[in-house]
A and B are shown apart, each in its own frame.
Chain A
Amino acid sequence: MPANSVLRVSYFIQIMDETKRKRKTKNSYGQIRAESLFKRTLVGIGAGMIVLVLGILFTLIVESIPSIRHLGARYLWGTTWDPVNNVYGAAPFLLGTLLTSFLALIISIPFSFAIAIYLGEYNPKGWLSSFLKNTVELIAAVPSVIYGFWGLLVLVPLVRTLEIKLGVLPYGIGIFTASLILAIMIIPYAASLGREMIRLVPSPLKEAAYSLGATRYEVIKNVILPYTKSGLFAGILLSLGRALGETMAVTMVIGNTSMIPTSIFAPGNTMASVIANEFTEADHTVYLSALIELGLVLFLVTVVINMAGKRIIKKFTTE
Chain B
Amino acid sequence: MGILIKTFKQSFAAAALALVAIAGCNTNDTKTQDKAAAGDSATTRDDKTILGAGSTFIYPLFSKMFSDYNAKTGIQVNYQSIGSGGGILQLTNKTVDFGASDGPLNEEQTAKIGAPVLHITQASGAVVLTYNLPGNNNNINLTPDVIADIFLGKIKIWNDARIASINKGVAIPALPILVAHRSDGSGTTAIFTNYLSKVSADWKTKVGSGGAVNWPAGLGGKGNEGVSGLVKQTPGAIGYVELIYALQNKMDYAKIRNKKGNFILPSIASVTAAGNVTLPEDSKIFLTDTDAPDGYPISGFTWVIIYKEQNYKGRSLEQATRLLKLLWWNIHEGQAFATPLNYAPLSDEALKVAEKILKSATYDGKAIL
Contacts and interface: CB of A to CB of B under 8 A. Distances in A.
A283 B88 contact: yes
Contacts of A170: 234
Given A156-B233, A256-B183, A173 B219 contact: yes
A255 B179 CA distance: 11
A152 interface: yes
Contacts of A284: 106, 108-109
Contact of A278 (B108, B208, B212): B212
B17 A280 contact: no
A82 B214 contact: yes
B91 interface: no
B144 interface: no
A57 B20 CA distance: 14
Interface in A83-106: 83-85
A258 B207 CA distance: 13
Nearest to B3: A34
B85 A282 contact: yes
Contacts of B187: 281
A61 to B, nearest CB: 11
A62 B83 contact: no
A257 B24 contact: no
Interface stretch (B220-228, B300-308, B317-325, B329-337): B220-228
Contact of A84 (B6, B209, B219): B209
Given A45-B13, A278-B212, A280-B82, A256 B20 contact: no
B185 A257 contact: no
A214 interface: no
Nearest to B216: A259
A120 interface: no
A258 B215 contact: yes
Contacts of B266: none
A256 B214 contact: no
Contacts, number: 141
A255 B210 contact: no
B186 A281 contact: yes
B118 to A, nearest CB: 19
Contacts of B82: 280
Nearest to B108: A284
Interface residues on A, range: 35 or more
Contact of B219 (A45, A63, A153, A255): A255
B17 A45 contact: yes
Interface in B1-23: 3, 6-7, 10, 13-14, 17, 20-21
Nearest to A174: B219
Interface in B131-163: none
Given A84-B208, A84-B210, A281 B24 contact: no
B108 A83 contact: no
Interface string A175-208: 0000000000000000000000000000000000
Given A62-B27, A256-B219, A281-B85, A37 B234 contact: no
Nearest to B197: A84
A302 interface: no
Contacts of B7: 34, 37
A282 B207 contact: no
A256 B222 contact: yes
B246 interface: no
Given A171-B219, A255-B219, A280 B83 contact: yes
Nearest to B208: A84
B211 A81 contact: no
B233 A172 contact: yes
Contacts of A169: 176
Contacts of B86: 279-281
B223 to A, nearest CB: 9
Nearest to A41: B10
A270 to B, nearest CB: 12
Nearest to B220: A256
B117 interface: no
Contacts of A7: none
B357 interface: no
Interface stretch (A48-56, A121-129, A232-240): A48-56
Nearest to A62: B27
Nearest to A171: B219
Contacts of B178: 171
A58 B24 contact: yes
A80 interface: yes
B229 interface: yes
Given A58-B24, A280-B185, A173 B106 contact: no
A13 B114 CA distance: 70
A152 B229 contact: yes
Contact of B226 (A157, A252, A288): A252
A160 interface: yes
Q: Which 7 A-B pairs have the closest CB atoms?
A: A281-B185, A256-B183, A256-B220, A280-B83, A281-B85, A82-B214, A84-B208
28 contacts: A34-B3, A37-B10, A41-B10, A52-B17, A55-B24, A62-B27, A83-B214, A84-B207, A152-B225, A156-B233, A157-B233, A173-B221, A173-B230, A251-B183, A256-B220, A257-B215, A267-B220, A269-B183, A269-B220, A277-B185, A277-B212, A277-B220, A280-B184, A281-B83, A281-B85, A281-B187, A282-B89, A283-B108
Interface of B: 3, 6-7, 10, 13-14, 17, 20-21, 24-25, 27-28, 82-86, 88-89, 106, 108-109, 112, 176, 178, 183-187, 207-215, 218-222, 225-226, 229-230, 233-234
Given A257-B215, A281-B212, 9 more contacts: A37-B10, A45-B14, A55-B24, A83-B213, A84-B213, A251-B183, A252-B222, A284-B106, A284-B108
